[in-house]
A and B are shown apart, each in its own frame.
Chain A
């Protein structure tokens, strides 16, 4: 896999994990 794609995919995965954590924390706040 080319370097630019490897880096881009892992960065997107990292951002998605962080986003999911932020979403879950925010949702727990409205419960």
Chain B
């Protein structure tokens, strides 16, 4: 239990834990999807689409925890120094790659959800659907792999190409000296990695500061007076679209307005999902604007945790077929009722945590 507490209270550790999901789990989901397409197996296709949806929700948590991991590494003092093996530019380059990857994964998640939704609501899926999801998933895979590759360079000096080159040159000198003692003057006895890191830093000199796209977007958000109130208003519009849909769809399952068949309220779901898309975009812009407002804010962690639960809840409704059979004047079975009550609770919790960011947490 204490190990679990140590992991969850260390934002760097949370990021190291989560970052395997958009890479490793997504590779498995992509393989399942390609197999489903090749074998024309609907079950495989639907499973992989639901996995794309869940993994895209985890990607949001992975991105935000990455920013928190950087804050953890730097500390709160603006003059604080990073550990000697960590390059500031490597963090920024990784962050930009991760921002693009998260964007691609978000779009993949949206269209995967749309495909799952159409599965039940149209007789035949549009012809563009599956090829589009395949292209988006491949783009997500490529961009996320690049983010992961660059992320590795932050703390693992042994995989940075420039450092490896210097290290191997040193090893060759040591090897030559071992074979022919006295052949090389001032040959080192061994080759510590830190010496290679220092050598690279010395030969390249002070690297030019990396122009971060994430920071440029953030500066735009906080540099224009109209941005924050506009984003805030749109965030509330998105919230209304989302929560209204959540209430109507789930209250029907709990027995309200029973005259309406479930398939009728199901038609409203894209409005809720578009509301979520609006809130994800505006929410990410808030985050990019003032990341430190959220990095060390426990209420923000709770909010993102509830968003992850909401992703699982949505995946259940997309895959469970017993809900679909709830006709006019028919009671829903127990499982969808529990899922419906959970959905209302989860989304109310997301709302609550969002509103309490400045009050319980330390935002603003």
- A residues sitting closer than 8 Å to B (CB atoms) are 3, 6-7, 10-11, 14-15, 18, 21-22, 25-26, 28-29, 31
Contact = CB atoms under 8 A, between A and B. Distances in A.
Interface stretch (B86-94, B174-182, B226-234, B337-345): B226-234
Interface of B: 114, 118, 121-122, 126, 225-226, 229-230, 233-234, 237-238, 241, 267, 270-271, 274-275, 277-278
A11 B270 contact: no
B267 A26 contact: yes
- Binding site of A, secondary structure by majority: helix, strand, loop or mixed? helix
B197 to A, nearest CB: 47
Contact of A31 (B114, B126, B271, B278): B126
14 contacts: A3-B229, A7-B229, A10-B226, A10-B234, A11-B233, A14-B237, A15-B237, A18-B237, A18-B277, A22-B274, A28-B118, A28-B126, A29-B122, A31-B122
Contacts of B275: 18
A15 B278 CA distance: 9
A6 B229 CA distance: 10
Contact of A3 (B126, B225, B278): B225
A26 B241 contact: no
Contacts of B241: 18
A27 to B, nearest CB: 11
Contact of A7 (B126, B226, B267, B270): B226
Contacts of A22: 270-271, 274
Given A18-B238, A22-B274, A28-B118, 11 more contacts: A3-B225, A6-B226, A7-B226, A7-B230, A11-B237, A14-B237, A18-B237, A18-B241, A18-B275, A18-B278, A21-B274
A26 to B, nearest CB: 7
